């Protein structure tokens, strides 16, 4: 819920209640003054009949709400205002930064309702873009708070992903134990060779040749067996990673398909694609590395550390003491510096990919306006910003690792010095020193791997946060607990429906409309009046904020969505064709349709003739978004796709917008046959195409302004009449030019 009643300090609250003449009902920040200077402690407080501005606890303005009318929120450049009107002009009530724009949308509705002595009726379901744990504002479009995404949570999610291949993990763990055991045997064999075959001056003395031979055989056998086990374990874990990647990508993509349009339209396409591709790859690479190395290095480090202390605790301290110190230092530096740098690097990578996706999608527009150089410069700027962030983070990391390695290497030098001193004192044999150095060398691998683990885990944990921001997102539009699968007849009724894509900005207001089975309804009005929004509600892309939308007397929210969508045919204003054949694109609406049914649908849409004119006919390949077809051809294929569903409710959103006059005539004839017996909602800016509609519904600023037939509305000479006259006026010059020619 959007916060609309910020708490005031006791003295401020007392002052507000005194000037309002009653309790504070609403309180929101107004952090800009009329000269757009920042204010730290300024609020708009609203009571029953008055409002006031409090600045640092002092009342700077107070007015009766009913003194003005038409309260509305107006976005400006970098700020937002609430303004109202009276007989003498307009008044700016208060001003704030853009982060408070949604909040001000609600407040404007409240003030307007109070000015009309109406009960406030707002639908405050707009979430705050703040972290629910720490209250910090979320960055950009991210739904993950970088301050609260803990390591423990990330580790749990990573292990949850990896646990799906628990069988392979178990076998790989057993094999890791075997490799570790063999690794621990090798230094023992080396000690025996040194003590039995060399004296303290490193000169050969009458060695036991059998011992020497068996030691060589033992070392060779350990090497061969160890490498074979590592090969088997590596192949097993390598096979595990692609399975996890496929499963993870399928999970993310499945969730994306389940999520509502509201979520998907709030995300950049490049961001979503990165989650399915790059982020899943990072996670799988980390899981593969984790299960391949963590068990082996962990066991090795544990056992070798024990053996080192058993051999000599002083030398063991020289070897092991730097490791926890450097690990602690790395952890501190990571939390303070590197975590922020790498998160910024990820964010800029997303921004670059999204920009690239947008530009390639609109490449025709770029070339049409000759803006190639501009787009190259903009992409270069994105790449440089990403490169600068990467250089900064990598430079910091590259400084950290050499310092760590230097300190560890220094401890090894001290180990040699201490060991040599002990040999000279006679408290240590050369074989024991050799064994100790071998064990010390064994843990160098695990220590180096652990030193690099924070970086690898950071990449994976950020990817986990981003992926789970999609997976954990709850679908906004879902089936009810007991969905009803119905055979739709076609009665549609809107009852006091109010809806806004943002609930603080209603697009449709108190809509009441009853449509009977088989009726054709033409939706008319200026752009932004709410026509397409009405269509979106019928398709249940969104749910109403208030009121009821029912089909055949059943609330649309109770109808099974699969059942609903399978009985609605849609031709949207933006025609989209998938890469594939013409046949596949038409049959997309009904995958089990026969060849004859597909051809019949194409004929009904007057698409058959141009399809068979291609050498490959219905097997003609459709390029990305149908760019190898004209706009009219794409539109007819979309109409054929809708016809194939044999819908009970047909929706035509500018279905003939891309057609020339001759083709449009053919389409109108086809649609005339198609709409018989079906409830049809049609939107067309060319109003002449809606003459034969049973009723025309005229929208004005989100409300139904007029309803009637073409003749009735023309006789009424209202909004519809004005639109018709305006279109006729626009067409006359073209007709005169044609006559002159």
Quick: pLDDT tens for 372-419: 888 888 888 888 888 888 787 777 766 766 776 677 677 767 777 777
pLDDT at residue 615 tops 70: yes
pLDDT > 90 fraction of the chain, expressed in percent and rounded = 16
Q: Which of these, 522, 517, 628, lies nearest to 567 by C-alpha position? A: 517
pLDDT at 26: 92
pLDDT at 491: 93
pLDDT at residue 110 tops 60: yes
Q: Which of these, 552, 497, 508, lies nearest to 679 by C-alpha position? A: 552
What are the backbone dihedrals phi and psi of residue 514, each rounded to the nearest 5 degrees, phi first? -115, 120
CA distances from 685 to 111, 200, 492, 596 (A): 35, 100, 23, 34
In the sheet where 508-515 sits, what is the strand order? 508-515, 492-499, 546-551, 554-555
CA distances from 280 to 156, 287, 468 (A): 16, 10, 11
pLDDT at residue 739 tops 60: no
Structure confidence at residue 50 as a pLDDT band (50, 70, 90): very high
The better pLDDT of the pair 451, 351 is held by 351
The better pLDDT of the pair 557, 685 is held by 557
Residue-wise pLDDT tens digits, 489-537: 989 999 999 998 877 788 898 899 999 998 999 999 888 888 989 999 9
Structure confidence at residue 143 as a pLDDT band (50, 70, 90): low
Q: What is the mean pLDDT of residues 701-715?
A: 90
Bridge-partner residues for 581, per DSSP?
Answer: 621
Q: What is the mean pLDDT of residues 98-125?
A: 83
Ranges 147-151, 365-369, 715-719, 731-735, most confident: 715-719
CATH fold of 151-471 reads: ABC transporter transmembrane region fold (1.20.1560)
Q: Which of these, 217, 281, 216, 219, lies nearest to 244 by C-alpha position? A: 281
CA distances from 664 to 186, 632, 654 (A): 85, 9, 12
Reply yes or no on domain 10-115 having CATH 2.30.29.30.
Answer: yes
Provide the whole-model pTM: 0.69
The better pLDDT of the pair 295, 712 is held by 712
Q: What is the mean pLDDT of residues 201-229?
A: 73
Cβ neighbors of 299 (< 8 A, separation 6 or more) are 176, 177, 180
Q: What is the mean pLDDT of residues 154-173?
A: 71
Residue-wise pLDDT tens digits, 74-89: 888 878 899 998 888 8
Domain boundaries, the chain: 10-115, 151-471
């Amino acid at each position: 819920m959007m916060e609309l009643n910020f708490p005031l300090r006791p003295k401020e609250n007392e002052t507000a209640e005194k000037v309002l003449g009653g309790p504070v009902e609403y309180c929101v920040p107004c952090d800009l003054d009329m000269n757009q200077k920042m204010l730290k402690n300024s609020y708009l407080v609203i009571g029953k009949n008055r409002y006031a501005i409090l600045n640092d606890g002092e009342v700077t303005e107070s007015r009766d709400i009913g003194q003005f009318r038409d309260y509305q929120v107006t976005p400006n450049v970098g700020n937002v205002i609430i303004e109202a009107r009276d007989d003498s002009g307009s008044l700016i009530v208060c001003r704030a930064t853009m982060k408070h724009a949604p909040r001000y949308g609600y407040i404007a509705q409240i003030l307007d309702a109070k000015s009309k002595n109406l009960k406030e009726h707002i639908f405050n379901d707009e979430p705050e873009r703040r972290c629910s744990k720490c209250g910090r504002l979320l960055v950009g479009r991210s739904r993950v708070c970088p301050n609260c995404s803990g390591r423990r949570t990330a580790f749990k999610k990573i292990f949850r992903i990896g646990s799906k291949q628990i069988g392979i993990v178990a076998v790989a763990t057993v094999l890791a134990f075997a490799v570790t055991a063999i690794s621990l045997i090798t230094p023992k064999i080396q000690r025996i060779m040194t003590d039995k075959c060399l004296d303290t001056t490193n000169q050969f003395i009458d060695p036991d040749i059998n011992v020497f031979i068996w030691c060589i055989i033992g070392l060779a056998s350990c090497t061969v067996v160890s490498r074979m086990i590592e090969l088997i374990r590596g192949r097993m874990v390598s096979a595990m990673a692609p399975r996890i990647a496929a499963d993870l990508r399928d999970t993310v993509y499945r969730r994306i398909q389940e999520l509502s349009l509201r979520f998907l339209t709030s995300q950049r396409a490049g961001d979503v694609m990165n989650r399915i591709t790059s982020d899943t790859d990072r996670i799988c690479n980390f899981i593969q590395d984790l299960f391949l190395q963590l068990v082996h290095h962990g066991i090795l480090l544990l056992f070798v550390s024990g053996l080192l202390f058993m051999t000599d605790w002083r030398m063991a301290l020289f070897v092991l003491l730097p490791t926890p110190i450097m690990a602690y230092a790395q952890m501190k530096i990571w939390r303070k510096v590197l975590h922020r740098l790498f998160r910024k690097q990820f964010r800029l990578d997303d921004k670059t990919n999204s920009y690239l996706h947008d530009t390639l999608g609109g490449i025709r527009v770029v070339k049409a306006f000759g803006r190639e150089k501009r787009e190259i410069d903009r992409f270069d700027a994105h790449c440089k910003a990403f490169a600068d962030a990467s250089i900064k983070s990598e430079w910091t990391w590259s400084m950290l690792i050499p310092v760590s390695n230097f300190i560890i290497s220094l401890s090894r030098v001290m180990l040699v010095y201490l060991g040599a001193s002990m040999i000279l004192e006679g408290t240590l044999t050369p074989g024991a020193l050799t064994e100790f150095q071998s064990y010390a060398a064994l843990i160098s691998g695990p220590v180096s791997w652990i030193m690099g683990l924070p970086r690898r885990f950071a990449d994976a944990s950020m990817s986990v946060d981003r992926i789970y921001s999609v997976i954990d997102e709850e679908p906004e539009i879902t089936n009810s607990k007991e969905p009803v699968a119905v055979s739709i007849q076609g009665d549609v009724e809107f009852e006091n429906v109010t809806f806004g894509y943002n609930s603080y900005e209603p697009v449709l207001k108190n809509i009441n409309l009853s449509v009977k089975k088989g009726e054709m309804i033409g939706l008319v009005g200026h752009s932004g009046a709410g026509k397409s929004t009405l269509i979106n509600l019928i398709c249940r892309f969104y749910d109403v904020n208030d009121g009821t939308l029912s089909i055949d007397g059943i609330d649309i929210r109770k109808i099974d969505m699969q059942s609903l969508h399978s009985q609605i045919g849609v031709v949207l204003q933006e025609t989209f064709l998938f890469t594939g054949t013409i046949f596949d694109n038409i049959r997309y609406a009904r995958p089990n349709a026969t060849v004859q049914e597909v051809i019949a649908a194409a004929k009904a849409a007057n698409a058959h003739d141009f399809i068979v004119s291609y050498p490959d006919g219905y097997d003609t390949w459709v390029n990305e978004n149908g760019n190898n077809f004209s706009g009219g051809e794409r539109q007819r294929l979309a109409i054929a796709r809708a016809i194939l569903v044999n819908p009970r409710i047909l929706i035509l959103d500018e279905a003939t917008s891309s057609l020339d006059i001759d083709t449009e005539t053919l389409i109108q004839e086809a649609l005339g046959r198609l709409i018989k017996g079906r409830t049809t909602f049609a939107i067309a800016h060319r109003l002449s195409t809606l003459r034969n509609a049973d009723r025309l519904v005229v929208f004005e600023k989100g409300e139904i302004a007029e309803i009637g037939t073409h003749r009735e509305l023309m006789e009424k000479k209202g909004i519809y009449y004005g639109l018709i006259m305006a279109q006729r006026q626009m067409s006359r010059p073209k007709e005169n030019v044609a006559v002159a020619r």
